[in-house]
Structure formats: C-alpha cells, structure tokens
Amino acid sequence: MQWQNERFRLCIILGAFAIGIGLGGCSDIYYDRRDSISLGANDAIAANRVVHMVDPWPPQSGDRNIAFNGERSQAAVERYRHNRVTPPVNTTTSSAAYRQATQAAAAGNAGSAATPPPR
C-alpha cells in the first residue's frame, strides 16, 4: 500500500516536471536577451531621419491645379447614371481598334438612349 502512494507522488512530480518543461519551451525570454536597454534600440538613425524631415509629402501632392476635361467627366457621369457604360476594350498599340470599339458602343447605346432607364 505504501509503494502505491510513493508511486502516485512520483507520477505527480514527474507530470508537473514534464508540464513545466513543455511550457518553458513556449517562452520567448531567450530571444529578448539583448545587449541594449530596450527592444527598440538601434533605430536612432531612422528616428533622427524622420525627426529632421521637413515635409514627408512629395511636392506634387500640394498642386491643386489639376488639369481635366469637364465635358468629358460630365459625359462619363451621365453614362454611369443611365447605365450606359462603355465596355473596356483590349489594349493595343493602335488607336484604330479603340475607335471601332467606341463607335460600336455608341451605336449600341443609341437605341437604349431613347428609352428611360428603369427606376
């Protein structure tokens, strides 16, 4: 009877030891050992570079005079509003294919322009 109690205690001790070893492998303390004060050390050059930067945005980002064609933008919005969007075409080096595709799309949309879109 006494040897069963000793065996039970030994199993408990060995089990606790095995669990401790298993959980000890999950620790990242080994990787945190460095010869520095904090984990963010060695970033002094990068930090100084950012601190001394006058304006991080490129100069073109402040340009408010953006060239655009208002009539073309308005036509695109109207096509989108009336669900007559020009389908995309394959990109080629020739503009002839683009011209043919836009003419075909315009001819296809001419019939649908007479009927109002469903609401």
Using H for helix, E for strand and C for coil, what is the string for the chain? CHHHHHHHHHHHHHHHHHHHHHHHCCCCCCCCCCCCCCCCCCCHHHHHHHHCCCCCCCHHHHCCCCCCCHHHHHHHHHHHHCCCCCCCCCCCCCCHHHHHHHHHHHHHHHHHHCCCCCC
Residue-wise pLDDT for 56-82, tens only, equals: 788 888 888 888 888 999 998 999 899
Residue-wise pLDDT for 78-118, tens only, equals: 998 998 877 776 666 667 767 777 788 777 765 554 455 55
Provide the whole-model pTM.
0.26
